[in-house]
C-alpha cells in the first residue's frame, strides 16, 4: 500500500520511513493538507496528516473523490477534522489517542521557568556581552500555587513536577484524577483556580465548551503577576484579550507553544514574509512573552510513539479492525456534536 503523508517535519521523516519500511511505501510532504494541496492526494487510499492540516468538508470531499478512505492524523487533537462530513462520506478517521505525556509536561515547565527567570532576555544580552542583571529578577516557585487546567495524563505529569517544586496544587477538570489528589491537589471551580494561581497551565482539548476558555473575564480574574502557559491548543486562549491584558501591564509572563491562528504560520519559515496577523505581531512585541512553534510534543520518544500508533491505525484499517484510535468508521459515526 502506498500512503501519502502531509505536514512531515524534517526530523520526523526518517522515523516515519523507518516505521513503515517493509510494510508500506510512504510519500512524505512538508506541506500541510488544505483545499489547495488536497488534489495531490488523488489516487491515495490512505492519507496521514498533521495537526495543522485542514480537513474541512470541502477538503474531505476532494480526498474522497480522489479515492481516499482513511485519514490517519498524527496527533491527539482532531478539532481540525470535520468528523460529521467524514462519516457522511463513509470515510475512516483515526488519530493518536496518547503518546508520551512527559514530552509536553516537561516542555511546559521549560517555558514556565524561561518566562519566570527571564532566560530568553538574559541569553540575548549575554550574546552581546551585556552581563547586567537589570530586569532579570524572577520568583521562587516553591510555596506558590500552580493551577492545572486539565488533569489527564499530561496534566498529571505536570502536577508531579510541580509537586517536586514544592508548590501548592489546584486543579480543574470534569473528572478528578486520584493520582493528582494523592499529590495534594485540591480541585476547585475554574474561576477560583484563575484567581488563586501564581502559575496557570492549560492541558485540556479544544472543544466547543473549552474554546476561548481563557477569555477577557478569566484574564481579569488572574493575579497581576500570574504566569500563563499554554501547550495544548491555541483556541483555548482569546489572544486579542490577552494582548489587551498585557498592554495594561498585567501578567508577569506568558508562554505559548500554540496560537489560535497558527495554521499556515507554524511549522513554516515566514521570516521573509510580510506578517499580516496583527494580533500575533503585537503579541511578539512584549518582552515578557515567549512564543514557540507547537513543539512541546516534539521529542524522539513522543514522535516515535506517534509514528508507531499511526502505523497501527493503518494496519487496523486494512485488517478491518476497530482499533482504539479510530474516531469514525463507516459502521461507527461520530458522537453527537462532533
pLDDT band at 265 (very low <50, low <70, confident <90, very high): confident
pLDDT number for residue 55: 97
Is residue 236 within 8 A of residue 207, CB to CB? The reply is no
pLDDT in tens, 15-52: 999 999 999 999 999 999 999 999 999 999 999 999 88
Identify the band that residue 264 occupies on the pLDDT scale cut at 50, 70 and 90.
confident
Give 283-330 pLDDT, tens digit per residue.
Answer: 999 999 999 999 999 999 999 999 999 999 999 999 999 888 999 998
The answer, yes or no, to whether residue 337 has pLDDT greater than 70, is no
Residue 281: C-alpha distances to residues 3, 98, 243, 286 (Å): 37, 33, 10, 10
Cα-atom radius of gyration of the chain, to the nearest Å? 21
pLDDT above 90 covers a percentage of the chain that reads 91
Name the residues annotated as catalytic: 233, 262
Residue 336, pLDDT score: 52
Where does residue 2 rank: exposed (0-12), middle (13-18), buried (19+ CB within 10 A)? exposed
Band of pLDDT at residue 333, cut at 50, 70 and 90:
confident
What mean pLDDT do residues 164-182 have? 98
pLDDT at 324: 85
| pLDDT tens digits for range 223-239 | 999 999 999 999 999 99
pTM listed for this prediction: 0.90
User: How many Cα neighbours within 13 Å face the side chain of 289?
Assistant: 20
Q: CA-to-CA distance for 283 and 47, rounded, in angstroms?
A: 35
Amino acid at each position: 500500500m502506498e500512503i501519502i503523508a502531509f505536514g512531515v517535519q524534517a526530523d520526523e521523516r526518517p522515523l516515519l520511513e523507518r516505521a513503515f519500511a517493509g510494510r508500506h511505501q510512504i510519500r512524505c510532504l512538508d506541506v500541510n493538507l488544505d483545499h489547495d494541496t488536497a488534489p495531490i492526494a488523488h489516487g491515495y487510499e490512505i492519507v496521514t496528516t498533521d495537526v495543522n492540516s485542514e480537513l474541512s468538508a470541502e477538503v474531505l470531499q476532494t480526498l474522497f473523490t480522489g479515492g481516499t478512505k482513511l485519514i490517519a492524523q498524527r496527533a491527539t487533537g482532531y478539532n481540525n477534522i470535520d468528523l460529521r462530513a467524514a462519516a457522511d462520506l463513509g470515510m475512516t478517521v483515526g488519530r493518536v489517542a496518547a503518546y508520551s505525556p512527559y514530552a509536553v509536561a516537561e516542555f511546559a515547565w521549560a517555558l514556565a521557568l524561561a518566562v519566570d527567570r527571564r532566560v530568553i532576555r538574559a541569553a540575548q544580552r549575554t550574546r552581546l556581552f551585556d552581563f547586567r542583571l537589570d530586569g532579570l529578577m524572577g520568583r521562587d516557585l516553591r510555596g506558590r500555587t500552580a493551577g492545572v487546567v486539565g488533569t489527564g495524563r499530561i496534566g498529571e505529569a505536570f502536577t508531579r513536577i510541580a509537586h517536586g517544586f514544592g508548590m501548592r496544587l489546584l486543579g480543574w477538570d470534569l473528572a478528578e484524577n486520584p493520582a493528582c489528589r494523592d499529590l495534594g491537589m485540591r480541585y476547585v471551580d475554574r474561576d477560583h483556580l484563575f484567581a488563586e494561581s501564581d502559575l496557570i497551565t492549560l492541558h485540556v482539548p479544544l472543544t466547543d465548551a473549552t474554546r476561548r476558555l481563557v477569555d477577557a473575564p478569566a484574564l481579569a480574574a488572574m493575579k497581576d503577576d500570574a504566569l500563563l502557559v499554554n501547550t495544548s491548543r491555541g483556541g483555548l486562549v482569546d489572544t486579542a484579550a490577552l494582548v489587551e491584558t498585557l498592554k495594561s501591564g498585567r501578567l508577569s509572563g506568558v508562554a505559548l507553544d500554540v496560537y489560535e491562528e497558527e495554521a499556515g504560520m507554524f511549522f513554516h519559515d515566514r521570516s521573509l514574509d510580510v506578517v499580516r496577523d496583527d494580533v500575533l505581531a503585537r503579541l511578539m512585541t512584549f518582552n515578557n512573552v515567549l512564543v514557540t512553534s507547537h513543539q512541546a510534543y516534539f521529542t524522539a520518544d513522543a514522535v516515535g510513539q506517534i509514528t508507531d500508533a499511526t502505523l497501527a491505525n493503518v494496519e487496523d484499517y486494512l485488517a478491518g479492525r476497530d482499533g482504539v484510535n479510530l474516531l469514525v468508521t463507516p459502521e461507527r459515526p461520530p458522537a453527537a456534536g462532533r
